[in-house]
Structure 1
Amino acid sequence: MGITKFSETFKGQNFSLFIPRKDQCDVCVGWKAGDIPDAQYESHRSWNDAARAEKERDEDEEAAQGTPSRENIDMSNWRAFYEHRDEEDEEDEDERREGGFKSAGRDSVMYLVDASKEMFIKDKDMELSHFQMCMQGIRNIYSNKICASDRDLVAVVLFGTESQTKEHFKHVTVFHDLDEPSAHRIMELQNLAENYKLGHAPLVHLHHALWQCGDVFSSARATLAHRNIIILTNRDDPHGGDRELNRLAHTKAADLLRNGEELSLLPLGTANSFDLSLFYCDVISHDQSDGMQDTEPASTLDDLQLCLKLRQSRPRAQVRLVLTLGGDVKLGVGVYILVRSASKPAPMKLQRSNNEPVRSKTRLYHAQTARLMLRNDIKKAQTYGKRQIVFERDETDEVRRFFEPGLVLIGFKPLTALKPQDHVRPAQFLYPDESSITGSTRLFVALLQRCWARRVFALCRYTARKNLPPRFVALVPQEEEVDEHKVQLMPGGFHMIFLPFADDIRNVEEPPVVSVKPELVAKAKTVIQKLNFSFMPQSFSNPVLQTHFNNLEALALDRDVVDAVQDYTLPPTERIEKRAGQLLRELTEMTFPPNYKLNGNKKKSGMAGESAPAKKPRSQAVAAVGSKEELQAMAKEGTVGRLTVKGLQDVSRRYGIVIPAGARKQELVDAISKHFLI
């Protein structure tokens, strides 16, 4: 049947297609079908109303500031309206970072803290109660996240309280909603630990607490990459053996796990005081349950802080790629960063009147017409042999792309072929990614075991992203290490070491070898043995960063005293003197005897007390231009740029060369070259 006959028949039968005005979300459809409770639907509607009100408020502010709305804006300039940064600058920054991490969402962690009476009981040997320990530990996590990852979202929910945030979630209080950590929240946690006024419930409903946690996650406006719920309690049976409450809690925990949330437990108490099998083994995630069978509860604040740090930190892949071994043999891998230089956060520009952040926008305008330049109006050029080679934007994009992102195996080499001087940047770590290709872990482990057994590394071509150049990398195997309790100390995987190209290698002339007496070598060897110690980077914090963040924390929390920072990078002079002080003095006497004269102690600018020679004026260093022909010859040779701006202006006026007002040096050079038709 043709389309014409079909249309005539369709209209003749008076048929029509129903097109709804607007698609409804799953929550609204589920509520109409009776699958969604009224409380969750009301929360969803309130969030939609708040988002709509915020949109209208933004449009009103734009109209008040004279900013065109989305409906009235000229679409020819849409990039200039929406972009806050120049796209070319972003691409260049991506190239400099070479595969910098781009998150698909924000990490979020929710601390579900037990607030029953048992958490506030103090033993004789305890300075803080378990509840105060939890608040202090979470407070430290807030401070660390402000310094390290301030975009992570954190929430605190208390269960077992007499009060409650919502009526249908009994004895559950949302103390901190899911948001970024701040100084105000840190002070609230400290105040809660010192002055608790929420009361204690006679009965705990953990399934209501888990439901409240899921509701907080679902109402988050940001895209969440990881959702983690950490339960802190000292009671291994919160319901006192009530089977119905246990069944409801297990059912809700299973729903959260299927929805993508991770449930972990941090027990508190003394050794052998927490029985995981009574209740929580069926609540938390299976991998967490298997790893906590031999774990002792946290009894001190230091143990609690260490456990919280291990629970809340989650390794995040910098990029997920496909490792091609040859033909159709492929496996999924994730690239992780093990070492990255920590630095101070970039300063933020604020408005003087109200301390609000200032956003900067870049606009490019034509020099003669003052017309706004769009992305397609900009071209890039490279100077080669005094000639500008202009590239179209499509050409520059094509030049940047070599291969599709991924790892391609080239071959294998023995580990002895990898030299220390081949290290050009910090190594990264390779781990299997089962989510992209099923069976990748099994193939990855087989490859790792054979490389470790034969003491070889895999040579691969690595392309992090499509706009980055390829690199040669060496995949060095690392065997998994576990302790006596089968707890992993070092994961098994490949260290990805970046190898240099031939252009990166430099030939350095080695200095002549100086003959040294054997007794001097023996004395130096003795000194080295006396001062030998085991170095671990984890034991040394950066004193500059610690001082900076301590000062910021003191200002944010209105403290009068700043916590002192102990600088462990200073050499322990007393210990060195005690161990090898006499040996060092003997080594110095043997190396520099009394009649020894140092040859490198010569001064370049006269003896002490003599004044330095006068600096030559800049005008004497610039070649004088005697005639117009000489200036033309300098323009042809490309040496006009040696003149200063003042000299270029003088010769331009002397020989009648038109120059723009307020021109810079390059514009003056271009005007002179244009005058002589060069």
Structure 2
Amino acid sequence: MSEREPWQRNYDEEAAEEEVDEAADRDSPLIAALKCAYHLMQQRIISNPKDMMGVLLFGTEKAKFQNEGDDKHAPVYPHCYLFTDLDIPSAEDVKSLKSLVEDDNDEDNILVPSKDPAAMANVLFCANQIFTTKAANFGSRRLFVLTDNDNPHSADKQAKSAAAVRAKDLYDLGVVIELFPITREERDFDMGKFYDDIMYRDSAAEANMSDVLTSKSGGGLSLLNSLIANINSKQTAKRALFSGVAFEIAPGLTISVKGYNVMNRQKEERSCYIWLDGETPQLVTGETTKVSEDTARTAYKFGGEYVYFTPEEQKSLKDFGPSTIRILGFKPQSSLPFWASVHKSSFIFPSEEHYVGSTRVFTALWKKLLADDKMAIAWAITRSNAKPTLVAIIPSRGRSEEDSGPQSLPAGLWLYPLPFVDDIRNPPDMPDPVQASDALVDKMQIIAENLWLPNRAYNPSKYPNPQLQWHYKILQALALQEEVPETPEDLTVPKYNAIAKRVGGHIRDWQALVDEELSHVRKQGSLKREAGDEEGGKPKKRTKAESKPAGSGLSDAQIKAANDSGGLSKMTVAELKDVLACRDLVERLEEWADRS
């Protein structure tokens, strides 16, 4: 049996996975939401160990706000059950949540639904009290609401108004409410019935909302995957790369900006070492031993001699001035070559911390660059002790009304690092490429169009780094005393079954056409070589004739005569270089002879 193409393999495995998905897609929305919280708690306890998480259930028959033994006079919110208090998750918290959702271990009847619906005002006020008492000083606080009920107070306008007041209180405290609506097959989730008065959303959030929570059976595995993917995309840490940098647009016109790395590869972070040779994994305890400092100065070899620098002098060598971005001029964007992209760009955003009115000036510059299709060339030192770079400040457009799907990159200004001479290398000599025929191009266009993602939008946050996730899986298994998994889960592996169904026949036709055209090209090449052999045999190897520059070996009298007759101005650069090199060598020999 001949070997199959990569896109033809693993049909049986993918069919089996689809059967498992259909079987697991029978979970209720509540179980799917709890599984989502469990998976997220697993991830955050490893990747972000300082983040606090809590699980609050509403619509339950039982009510609980504090643990037993706490203040007996603490308020009780009807039909609100605080399953996990807001805190840094521990291994016991993860195990108890896993036991609830995966082992069906609900001995305390926590998940028994209440006969009366929970008042959303009580739910939001309970969340307010939790944030106020547990995370009062946190800069980022978010409340994730997962529900399939789009109108919890359809017949009670007073309860609806009270919920809007509690939502406003959370908003005033800086708490962001993120809603994840679960859409059922029989009806859509109508935001206008209740949650438009609760949510404070922008246009970008509204665009992302239609991208997420729809399940073929109203719950289960597909819903769970969409929940985890969407919440992961919202939980990405957004930290400034640099802050409060002076942006000098013109002499006397300065604003302040912040910089961000919008796309950055996430790597494993090691906060400690684990010793695995014992019966149970243990954290390694480090010991520090102090030694006497070397007070000798550091020496650098330069020009055959050693130059000594004190630590203060070494520090001053790296000091190029305060952090600033200074515009030097403007150029058309078309003048930027494609090979100038050697480093990733940074997104800059105005900041009102040091200069009031920075946002208005920044917006005016952005609009002007867009209107004139220009870019700014600037001198940039974005951080203290950073080396200076030349950057092109390029504007990016916002999403137009015709565009569909979420916007992956923000609209604003980007710092595009420009290369110096040392950053550029000449590419090696490559053979002339073979031009594809129109038939090949048309066939490949059909294949590409059938492989587009929905809405032609690629969201990298939905495809986690498999190496990083495998690293977290191992740490999670060690922390929760679970079995170490054998194989990692890789969501970046192509879906071979879907590819074969969509374009399998087109790919086979395209491959046959490529083989046919390649055989034709090889046949033409062999005919040309045979014709060359018949005419004159094998061509002789060309040798470059050695030539001696006309200016080498000229005497002083000859140079003076050439100067008088105007011959020096007619000599080439190579001839002049040769004359100067010869005279320089003679002068050096004479100096050496005088010294010895």
Normalising by the smaller structure, the TM-score range is 0.5 to 0.7
**C-alpha distance after superposition, 1:55-112 (max 9, x if no partner):** xxxxxxxxxxxxxxxxxxxxxxxxxxxxxxxxxxxxxxxxxxxxxxxxxxxxxxxxxx
Q: Distance between the aligned counterparts of 2:48 and 2:509, measured in 1? A: 42
Contact 2:146–2:182 under 8 Å retained in 1: yes
Shift of 1:468: 1.0
1:159 matches 2:55 = no
1:540/1:266 Cα in 2 relative to 1: closer, same or farther (>3 Å)? closer
Shift of 1:327: 3.1
Contact 1:531–1:579 under 8 Å retained in 2: no
Specify the SS of the correspondent of 1:225.
coil
Q: Which residue of 1 aligns with 2:322?
A: 404
Matches of residues 551-570 of structure 1 in structure 2 within 5 Å?
557-558=482-483, 562=487, 565=490, 568=493
What is the aligned counterpart of 1:189 among 90, 97, 117? Answer: 97
Specify the SS of the correspondent of 2:140.
strand
Q: Which residue of 1 aligns with 2:510?
A: 580
Matches of residues 58-207 of structure 1 in structure 2 within 5 Å?
127-145=26-44, 149-161=48-60, 162-166=62-66, 167-171=74-78, 172-180=80-88, 185-193=93-101, 194-196=104-106, 197-198=109-110, 199-201=112-114, 202=116, 204-207=118-121
Q: Distance between the aligned counterparts of 1:467 and 1:183, measured in 2? A: 42
Q: Which residue of 2 aligns with 1:469?
A: 387
1:540/1:587 Cα in 2 relative to 1: closer, same or farther (>3 Å)? farther
Contact 2:65–2:75 under 8 Å retained in 1: no
Specify the SS of the correspondent of 1:316.
coil
Q: Which residue of 1 aligns with 2:284?
A: 358
Q: Distance between the aligned counterparts of 1:382 and 1:250, measured in 2? A: 69
Q: Distance between the aligned counterparts of 1:378 and 1:257, measured in 2? A: 59
Q: Distance between the aligned counterparts of 2:439 and 2:179, measured in 1? A: 52
**C-alpha distance after superposition, 1:428-464 (max 9, x if no partner):** 2223345664443333332222212221111112222
Q: Distance between the aligned counterparts of 2:467 and 2:172, measured in 1? A: 44
**AA matched with 1:316:** R
**AA matched with 1:298:** L
Contact 1:139–1:186 under 8 Å retained in 2: yes
1:143/1:290 Cα in 2 relative to 1: closer, same or farther (>3 Å)? closer
Q: Distance between the aligned counterparts of 1:570 and 1:299, measured in 2? A: 21
Shift of 1:391: 3.1
What is the aligned counterpart of 1:225 among 115, 139, 153? Answer: 139
Shift of 1:164: 0.4
Q: Distance between the aligned counterparts of 2:136 and 2:287, measured in 1? A: 24
1:303/1:189 Cα in 2 relative to 1: closer, same or farther (>3 Å)? same
Contact 2:262–2:347 under 8 Å retained in 1: yes
**C-alpha distance after superposition, 1:651-677 (max 9, x if no partner):** xxxxxxxxxxxxxxxxxxxxxxxxxxx
1:373 matches 2:254 = no
1:413 matches 2:331 = yes
1:192/1:305 Cα in 2 relative to 1: closer, same or farther (>3 Å)? same
What is the aligned counterpart of 2:414 among 495, 501, 511? Answer: 495
What is the aligned counterpart of 1:454 among 372, 375, 379? Answer: 372
**AA matched with 1:210:** L
Q: Distance between the aligned counterparts of 2:204 and 2:374, measured in 1? A: 37
Q: Distance between the aligned counterparts of 1:429 and 1:562, measured in 2? A: 37
Q: Distance between the aligned counterparts of 2:288 and 2:208, measured in 1? A: 57
**C-alpha distance after superposition, 1:274-324 (max 9, x if no partner):** 454554434333548994899599342054445434443464332223322
Shift of 1:223: 6.1
1:504 matches 2:411 = no
Q: Which residue of 1 aligns with 2:196?
A: 281
Shift of 1:465: 1.2
Aligned length: 458
**AA matched with 2:200:** S
1:203/1:494 Cα in 2 relative to 1: closer, same or farther (>3 Å)? same
Shift of 1:357: 2.5
**C-alpha distance after superposition, 1:156-180 (max 9, x if no partner):** 2223331303341324333233345
Q: Which residue of 2 aligns with 1:340?
A: 264
1:546/1:248 Cα in 2 relative to 1: closer, same or farther (>3 Å)? closer
Shift of 1:328: 3.6
Q: Distance between the aligned counterparts of 1:414 and 1:394, measured in 2? A: 43
Shift of 1:412: 0.9
Contact 2:207–2:405 under 8 Å retained in 1: no
Q: Which residue of 1 aligns with 2:575?
A: none
Contact 1:232–1:268 under 8 Å retained in 2: yes
Matches of residues 496-645 of structure 1 in structure 2 within 5 Å?
496-506=415-425, 508=426, 511=429, 521-522=435-436, 527=440, 530-531=443-444, 533=448, 538=460, 544-545=467-468, 557-558=482-483, 562=487, 565=490, 568=493, 578-590=508-520
**C-alpha distance after superposition, 1:488-517 (max 9, x if no partner):** 5253112321111234334x3753x7578x
Q: Which residue of 1 aligns with 2:239?
A: 316
Shift of 1:338: 2.5
Q: Distance between the aligned counterparts of 1:542 and 1:295, measured in 2? A: 25
Q: Distance between the aligned counterparts of 1:413 and 1:275, measured in 2? A: 49
| RMSD after superposition | 4.3
The TM-score with structure 2 as length reference comes to: 0.64
Q: Which runs of 5+ in 2 are unaligned?
A: 1-23, 67-73, 216-222, 453-457, 527-596
1:435/1:187 Cα in 2 relative to 1: closer, same or farther (>3 Å)? farther
Contact 2:47–2:472 under 8 Å retained in 1: no
Shift of 1:140: 3.7
Q: Which runs of 5+ in 1 are unaligned?
A: 1-124, 366-371, 597-678
**AA matched with 1:338:** V
**AA matched with 1:156:** V
**AA matched with 2:131:** F
1:485/1:510 Cα in 2 relative to 1: closer, same or farther (>3 Å)? closer
Q: Distance between the aligned counterparts of 1:531 and 1:486, measured in 2? A: 25
**AA matched with 2:302:** Y
Q: Which residue of 1 aligns with 2:213?
A: 298
Specify the SS of the correspondent of 1:284.
coil
The TM-score with structure 1 as length reference comes to: 0.57
Q: Distance between the aligned counterparts of 1:484 and 1:499, measured in 2? A: 33
**AA matched with 1:568:** V
**C-alpha distance after superposition, 1:477-498 (max 9, x if no partner):** 1110145598752531123211
Contact 2:463–2:491 under 8 Å retained in 1: no
Deviates more, 1:567-576 or 1:231-240: 567-576
Shift of 1:325: 0.9
**AA matched with 2:423:** D
Contact 2:213–2:227 under 8 Å retained in 1: yes
Q: Distance between the aligned counterparts of 1:451 and 1:594, measured in 2? A: 51
Shift of 1:261: 1.7
Q: Which residue of 2 aligns with 1:327?
A: 251
Contact 2:332–2:374 under 8 Å retained in 1: yes
Shift of 1:561: 6.7
